[in-house]
Structure formats: structure tokens, C-alpha cells
Structure 1
Amino acid sequence: MAPSTALWAAGLLTLVSNIRAVPVVSETTTTVFLEPTNLPSPYAISHHNVTSHGPYDGPPATTTGALSTSILAPSIAPAPPPPQIVEYEADGQLHGDQPMPFTPSGGIGTNGSKPIYKVASDFDYQSLALALYHEWIELDLFHWGLATFSDEEFEEYGITAEDRHLLQHMADQEIGHASVIANMLGPNAPKQCTYNYPVSNVAEYIDFNQKLTRWAEAGVYGFLPHLNSGPAANMLLQSITVEARQQLIFRQFGGQFPMPEWHTPGIPQSWAWTLLAPYISSCPYNQTRLVWQNFPALYILNQPNPARINGSAVWNETTGGYANTLSTEGIPEDELCINSEDELSDCKAAVSQNRTVPLSYPGREVFLKWDAPGQLVGPNNSYVTTTNVAEPKFAAWLSQLNVTYTPLLNVSLDDRTAYTIQPNVSTWKNNPAVNGTMFIALTDVDLFVTPYNVTMVNPHVAALAVYQAG
């Protein structure tokens, strides 16, 4: 069993306090050095290798739907910005007394109060519980790939023994990430589950990894600045920066340019949970339930396929909805970029790959199909997809610092199909906003939102998916 939050906090304090002063005396001065003694390490959380994988085939769940209490309103009404931010004069001068030398006034958690590394609200708890679900699946997924695919299968894609050691190391990193979050949550923190992965070969496995680590990373960026507990946010920040590096590594393993975007987007928690839940098969009895919404799946019928030399010339080459993971099934050998002898179109694992044929481009017609609500998803099929939207009208492209809307065309509510046009927008000059591993949601309004309040669009979301723009 994991140590309690109190023990974790005590362990951190012990690490800080268990240092003794050692005087070194010369003829003229006495210098004191701080010498660490035997510093104890907090226990890593108990974990095991998951032995069962595949879709859930157990009895119907006795409890279904998201965790809920009394709901005050169908959506949160807009409010004016905080006056202290509007009124502050950003002129480079100091406007308040300094609490100590070389320190400006202001800031949060800077008044000398002792940090407590635990959640401080329902918002904190549910957000960190979601993050822990992600750490658990990554711990299993990284190990599962190494156990499932042979060295020869990895080598075929240019993933060497050293690369596989890196993959093992990234799995070990998840032990630390899970330990930090579980200790901040306490004894009811979510436990390891069983999982179902939509992959059958190394190319699909790597693609699913790079997509999962992107929405896990983006999910934390979305809620991190909103946490009530600054100390918890600080701990989580030190984990999610490693997660970002993992996502980059998986793009490199897949022969993609490591970081085409200039800014990594943040997404709402319900988006991250929607994308994750279908790949969790079952969880232990009395597992902590989440409050977040599960939106219907959005299928991108011509999802760009990084396994192809021409990744945009595709139709129905994914393993399913939500992640829209690439599929290599039925693609002729001479159209797979792994077999290309041209260095400008091959996609073996590399530090960087500059491919001449882009995965997507402005003006591309993107064909869409979405599920009806009411599908059972997630652990033990105990969560239910929901939406308030009767008729989607827009595609919301969430990438970098933007949410850009394009109208849905040729909408069929009977077939739940439509298409839209990939927009030609830039975050900055020479920086296409639609790029990298990003997100598309179908909405019924083109609500103006920005990175800090993108959650406000949730009541208007009809379906959701990952889009492989670059």
C-alpha cells in the first residue's frame, strides 16, 4: 500500500532537515559546510505487471456514469476579469513593498507558509486522479510493447536496443510519476487497471503512444494553472515536463519531426478523460470514480497516416475512434515510408525527419463521422458518453494558442457525417496553428475561448478526436 499523504509530506521534510553542519576551522576563519547524512527516500507506490489485456467482457456495471452531486447550472456564466490584473501597471517598476531583499511583492504561496503537498479541493482531487489514470496506463503500455513485439520487429523500424532501453526507462519514470500523484491524493487514489490497446504492430504501437502521451500532457496543461494547491501543481509540473519529452521521443520513434508546433496546447479534463477511458478495460472494485464527461467518438475518415509516404492520401486507415491510431493494414509495401530509400520520404526512427510530403495542409477536406451518445465506455463499461448538442455546426481545431472554428459542410444527422476544410491560420507569422498532434471537436456554436478558459466550450461539444496534422 502507498504511504499516506502525511507520510509523504513528512518524508519531504525529512529530506530537507536531515542535513548536519560540519565546521572546518583554519587559522583565521571558521567555515560551515552542509553535509548530507543518510537521506531516506520515500517509498515508490506499489505496482505490478498487468497480465490481462483486451476489451472488457465482464458483467454489466452496477454503477454507471460520472461521479456527481447537485449541479448548480448547465454551464458557467462568463464573468469580468479580476480587477487586480486589469489595474496592475506593467511598466517595469516596483509598486509594492518587498517582503525580503531582491524579492518583489505579489505572487501566490510566497508568504512563508509551509507547503503541504496534497490536494485542496474537489477540483484538485478529480484533476490529479485523472492524471494518475494516465500514469498507470503509460506504465503498463510501455512495458506491454516491449513484451509483445520482438527485437526484430522493433529493429525493422529503426528502434535499436538502446532505444528499447530508453522505452524501459520511460516506463520506470511512470513509477515515480504515479508515486507522487498517489501520495498527494491519499489512500483512495485510483489503482492500476487492465487495458485494451488498438494496435497490432510496432508502427501502430508507436503512433498510439505518441497520441496518448500528447493528450495526457495537454490534459495536465489545461488544469495545472487552475489548481487550488500550488504545492501540488509544483510537484505535478515536474512530472509533466518529462511526459512532454516522452511524447517527443515517440514522434522520433515514429519517424516524425519531433516538435513542429511552437506551443503545446492544453485541453479540458473531460477531453483527456474522453480520449483515455475507451482504452481502460476494468479496474479494481470500489475504484475511485471520476466526475469528468465522456463525449462521443469522432472518426476522422481520412485521418493523415504517418506510416505512408504520402500521409494525406488516405481513407479509413485507422484502428478506430478517439485516438484515430494509424493502421498499416492493406497498404502496399512500396507506399510505406519505412521502406522508402529516399531520405526525404522515409520514416525510420531518427532524431529528426524532414519529409517533403506533409501529413496535412490548409484547404484539405477532412471527412468526419461521429457516434451517437449513450455508448458504454471506460472501466468495466461503467461510464456513458453524453452530449448536449443536437446538431453540430462547427469543427473546433484546438492547437497551440488557438481554437479555430470551421463550418461543417454536407451535414447528415441520420448518418452523423460531415466534412470541413482544414483552416489556413497562423499563431505567428510562418507558424501554422494547425500542426503536430492536436485535437478536433464538433460543436454547435463557435464560442470564443482562449487557452485559460477553453473548458467553457464543453457544453457545446458533440464529439472529439485526435487529429494528426503534422
Structure 2
Amino acid sequence: MRLQNAGLLALSNVLLVQAVPRLYTPTTTFSEAETVTPAVVPQTNVTSHGPFTGPPATTTGALSTTVTASSIPALPPAPNSFNYTADGKLHAPQPAPFTPSGGIGTNGSAPVYRVQSDFDYQSLALALYQEWIELDLFHWGLQNFTVEEWEANGINAEERFLIEYMADQEIGHATVISNMLGPQAPKQCTYNYPVSNVREFIDFNQKLTRWGEAGVYGFLPHLNSGPAAQLLLQSITVEARQQLIFRQFGGQFPMPEWHTVGIPQSWAWSLLAPYISSCPSNQTRLVWQNFPALHIINQPNPARINGSDAWNETTGGWANTLSTQNISRSELCLHARNKTLDCAPAISQNRSIPLSYPGRQVFLKWDSPGQLVGPNNSYVTSTTVREPRFAAWVSQLNVTYSPLLNVSTRDNTAYTFQPNASTWDNDPAINGTMFLALTDTNLTVTPYNLTMLNPHVAALAVYQAG
């Protein structure tokens, strides 16, 4: 098997700016007098759920203007990228005591917490779509399933209150982003969830929160507005903890990876849009691409005692959320008496049978482009790839390719083998809730320029490696 492993060993930039939200006037308080609390963004309980059934949309496709090129050209590193001598010494005068030279937004200018470019606006609008669906999804699950159903899955009243509290957190996240976007910020929509019981609900949540945080990590360092990035960072770190909580509710090890993956905006939008049914008629549209769905036929199923022994046990492509429909009680890990096999909610579960492993044969099927998805069925899946040749495993700091075998463009099917790759010694690169894309080339990309792979993506999915 031919493998190509493109890892990134680089330090992230830290934005040295004051985190003072734009939505109120900063003050210094010298007394215990009550202060004015800023209002949150208006929100309501969404009462309608299910697939879109309205008339055909009058506007379809992603938001677009004049397109100047078919893709972003690959260029060498920026000038002077290697000029700084990293020897631990100071190489320039200090602008103030105890302050090194350099940094972005460190010259004393007052921070402005608003978007500064089309890139900023479209990225934060995508993040707001994500916050709105999480707010509704958490409430929907609590309202849709009975106390008996929750208790049967090992989730008691205190843990259900945690889900309610996480929904409240989304109100704050939506407020911050809405204020940075302004009056045209996306509003709440209606949604369609691919779940029918508590166990499927938990799994869909841990996948949705993963692509939510991964999507923001992908664009955060590219924002023109450092202040906006600061506030968004302080929201998305909470979402990362939500993802961990839902993994714990599903009886999975909370954080099997050493680094959290980042993905491009078009990947996050492709995974999110199919679960949005309809939005207000004047809703802000997005520029991002919608890739066709990748169906992982033998997607590992965390509800099973042997999670890798699964076949057609998902509720559909993109998220590939687990299904418990055809699994007997004796095969469900929730009821396993052997503590090395069970998956009851817990702070940590170290299951003896891995969900996936190097060398595992993975069977794939993907949709053709041209499918209507997203709000009001007004977005269209697209790709320029005629025949995929590789599976791109995107996790942690790595993109690792494995060749597709037995490719059929008539049936849109193929299979591949999970690579044996590590990010670091004793850190398997392919682990946790990660992403799998089919591509027509094994392009070398790293976390900071993963979007360069977009023109080569044929289909996309969440893969449950651990």
C-alpha cells in the first residue's frame, strides 16, 4: 500500500489583544453596585422539525460574485518567513517593559470587534449557523425523548441538566457572533435530525460538535479581524468541551487524540447544511461549497460491543450517524456485563475492542453531485472530480492518503484500507471523531493550507475511528 503522510510541526500564533466584547461599553467598577447586563440575541423555541416540504427555492447555489480564478495558486512561503533567529534571545528593542517586539494587534490600538472582510463575514456567518443548530438540537433532544428513555441509556436528571446548560451556552455564542456580524447576521432556522432514539441523538451530537469546532479551528488563524478571532476562540473552546461531554455520554474515551483537527469552511458547511430544513426568506446566504455525501458502508458503530463489526448501520451520509435499528440487545455495549466491553456513560471508558484499526478494510459509496441540500433545498452539491483515486484521512495534524481500490464510477463505490500512521510516537494519527474525503490526487497539505485540497474533493464524511 502506498501512503503519503503530510504532517505539520508548527507553533500556532497567539493574538495578543484585549478580549472586551463590542456589545457593551467597557467600564471599571469600584463598588458593589449592580451593573447593567447586556441583552442576548433574540431566540425562540423552534416548533417545526423534519425535512423541507416547501416550494422550490427561487435562488439556488452558493453566494457568488465575479470569480477571478478556478483555484488559489500554490506559492512558496512568504518572504522573510525564515529570517527570525529562534535562539531564545531578544533581537529588537522592547516597546514597553516586559514586552517583546512583534505580535499582531499589540501597538495599543483599541480593538474593534467586528468583521473586516468578506472572508471574515462568511466564516463567522457559518459559525453562527452552527451555533443556532446546536441551540435547537440540545433542546429538541430533551423534549423529544422521555425520562424513561434517557434513564435507560444511563443519563440521569443531572446529566440532562448539563445538556440544557450547554444549550444556554449557545445563546451566548450566538449573541457574540451576531453582534460582530451586524443586522444581517443569520437567524434561527428549522432543522431535520437523523436520529430516532437517545443513543443516536448522543452520537449525532458528538459528531456535529466536532465538525463545529474543527470548522472554526480551520479558519480562525486566517481571519482579518484579530479581535473577532479572540472572541470566537473563547466560544469555540467551550464547544470543544461539549464534544468531549457527548463522547462521554456515548461511553467513548473523551479525547483519544493529542491534537484537535481543523477543517475548511466548505467541509463544515457540507456536513452541516443537510440538517437545516428551512430559513427565513431573507436569510444571509453563504459562499461555501457543498460537497457530495460519502457513505461509509461499514462505519464503526460505537453502540456495538464490537464496533468495527458493522454493516449499513448509519442513518445516512455526511455525518454517518450510528443506527441501532438492527442490533440485538446482546450486541449492544450499553448492556454488556463485562466492564471491558460496556459503553455506559462515564468520565472515561477504555474499551478492549477498538472501533477501528490500521489495515481495516473500509467500504465506501458516494453521491453524485447536483443534489439539493440545506436551507429550503437552495444549495447544490458540487465537485469537479470525475474519478476519485485516494481516501484522505484528516485527523490531528496530519493528512494521510490511502489508495482507492476497485473504483466503480458507475456505482460510485470503492474500498480502501485504513493506513498505519502516527502523528507522534505512540500517537496514532487516525483516531477519534475525524474526517474522510475522497480525492483525485494525493496533494501535500497541512492544517494551515488544507483548503488547497478543496478542488480535488469528490465526497466527504465523518469517520468514527475511535
Same fold (TM over 0.5): yes
Counterpart position of 2:48 = 52
Counterpart position of 1:266 = 262
Q: Is the Cα–Cα contact under 8 Å of residues 113 and 180 in structure 2 kept in the other structure?
A: yes
Counterpart position of 1:4 = none
Residue 458 of structure 1 aligns to a residue whose secondary structure is: helix
Residue 367 of structure 1 aligns to a residue whose secondary structure is: strand
Whole-angstrom CA distance in 2 between matches of 1:413 and 1:10: 51
Partner of residue 103 from structure 1, selected from 80, 99, 109: 99
Q: Is the Cα–Cα contact under 8 Å of residues 139 and 175 in structure 1 kept in the other structure?
A: yes
Residue 465 of structure 1 aligns to a residue whose secondary structure is: strand
2:117 aligned with 1:121: yes
How many residue pairs are counted as aligned between the two chains? 447
Counterpart position of 1:407 = 403
Letter of the 2:462 partner, please give it. Answer: V
Partner of residue 84 from structure 2, selected from 81, 88, 107: 88
Counterpart position of 1:254 = 250
Partner of residue 384 from structure 1, selected from 333, 356, 380: 380
Structure 1 position 100, deviation (Å):
0.5
Query: Which deviations, in whole Å up to 9, do the C-alpha atoms of 1:167-189 show, x marking residues without a partner?
Result: 00000000000000000000000
CA RMSD of aligned residues (A): 1.0
Q: Is the Cα–Cα contact under 8 Å of residues 22 and 179 in structure 2 kept in the other structure?
A: no
Structure 1 position 9, deviation (Å):
5.9
Whole-angstrom CA distance in 2 between matches of 1:146 and 1:310: 29
Whole-angstrom CA distance in 2 between matches of 1:220 and 1:91: 32
Residue 228 of structure 1 aligns to a residue whose secondary structure is: coil
State which structure, 1 or 2, has the greater radius of gyration over its C-alpha atoms: 1
Counterpart position of 1:283 = 279
Structure 1 position 290, deviation (Å):
0.1
Structure 1 position 407, deviation (Å):
0.3
Whole-angstrom CA distance in 2 between matches of 1:9 and 1:272: 26
Query: Which deviations, in whole Å up to 9, do the C-alpha atoms of 1:145-192 show, x marking residues without a partner?
Result: 000001111111111111001000000000000000000000000000
2:62 aligned with 1:66: yes
Whole-angstrom CA distance in 1 between matches of 2:402 and 2:202: 30
Q: Is the Cα–Cα contact under 8 Å of residues 127 and 216 in structure 2 kept in the other structure?
A: yes
Counterpart position of 2:464 = 468
Counterpart position of 1:139 = 135
Gaps of 5+ in 2: 1-19
Letter of the 1:17 partner, please give it. Answer: T
Matches within 5 A, 1:28-39: 34-35=30-31, 37-39=33-35
Gaps of 5+ in 1: 1-7, 20-33
Whole-angstrom CA distance in 1 between matches of 2:422 and 2:337: 33
Letter of the 2:190 partner, please give it. Answer: T
Query: Which deviations, in whole Å up to 9, do the C-alpha atoms of 1:286-321 show, x marking residues without a partner?
Result: 100000000000000000000000000110000000
Residue 85 of structure 1 aligns to a residue whose secondary structure is: coil
Whole-angstrom CA distance in 1 between matches of 2:42 and 2:253: 36
Aligned pair in 2 of structure 1 residues 230, 310: CA closer, same or farther (>3 Å)?
same
Query: Which deviations, in whole Å up to 9, do the C-alpha atoms of 1:68-93 show, x marking residues without a partner?
Result: 01111111111221233311110111
Counterpart position of 1:17 = 27
Identity %: 74
Whole-angstrom CA distance in 1 between matches of 2:241 and 2:21: 27
Residue 81 of structure 2 aligns to a residue whose secondary structure is: helix
Whole-angstrom CA distance in 2 between matches of 1:191 and 1:390: 36
Q: TM-score of the superposition, structure 2-length normalised?
A: 0.95
Partner of residue 389 from structure 2, selected from 385, 390, 393: 393
Counterpart position of 1:312 = 308
After TM superposition, what 4+ stretches of structure 1 lie above 2 angstroms from structure 2?
Answer: 8-12, 16-19, 34-39, 82-85
Whole-angstrom CA distance in 2 between matches of 1:70 and 1:36: 55
Q: Which has the higher contact order (CA 8 A, sep 6+)?
A: 2
Letter of the 1:180 partner, please give it. Answer: V
Counterpart position of 2:234 = 238
Query: Which deviations, in whole Å up to 9, do the C-alpha atoms of 1:360-387 show, x marking residues without a partner?
Result: 0000000000000000000000000000
Counterpart position of 2:12 = none
Counterpart position of 1:29 = none
Letter of the 2:173 partner, please give it. Answer: H
Letter of the 1:463 partner, please give it. Answer: A
Partner of residue 430 from structure 2, selected from 434, 437, 443: 434
